[in-house]
Structure 1
Amino acid sequence: MPRSPIQDVPVAELPIRLGQFLKLADLAEHGAHARELVETEQVEVNGRVEVRRGAQLRPGDVVTVAGRRARPVER
């Protein structure tokens, strides 16, 4: 099965916390949804499950949720 394309998401300032990025990239509907995704181990960063909502993302990090992929890029 082919992997989904990576969506570049412009952010005002890097690093950005994972929970904030999930909302900004529309991978989570709101903060509580972002928390639920992380707590139930549905979020991967660079191919590894991430369970820290406050994990810092840097340019080039790829976040995956339900097959959708996104990465932060500076504006």
Structure 2
Amino acid sequence: METGTTKNIEINAEPIALYQILKFEALVSSGGEAKAAIDDGRVLVNGEVETRRRKKIMSGDIVEFEGERFNVVLK
């Protein structure tokens, strides 16, 4: 497994839905693509596969997608 750096994602308010993070950070091209990626089990939250599209993400959560890690931080 590839290990890389963890990038920060800044959010203005919490909680935020998981699919919105993928969409707002341009990791996918649309909300539908974000939801499909989550449905397919391709997104991890805090090291575990997450299939709930509207999973509430809070500051301090780690989101992993396509081999990249993101630390969610509140602005």
State TM-score, norm by structure 2: 0.89
Secondary structure of the equivalent of 2:34?
A: helix
Runs of at least 5 residues in structure 2 that lack an aligned partner in the other structure:
none
State TM-score, norm by structure 1: 0.89
Q: What residue in structure 2 maps to residue 13 of structure 1? A: 13
Residues 2, 67 of structure 2: 8 Å contact kept: no
Residues 41, 50 of structure 1: 8 Å contact kept: yes
1:62 equivalent to 2:62? Answer: yes
Corresponding residue pairs, total: 75
Runs of at least 5 residues in structure 1 that lack an aligned partner in the other structure:
none
Give me the CA root mean square deviation: 1.3
Q: Which runs of 4 or more aligned residues in structure 1 lie more than 3 Å from their structure 2 counterparts after TM superposition?
A: none
Quick one: percent identity of the two aligned structures?
A: 32
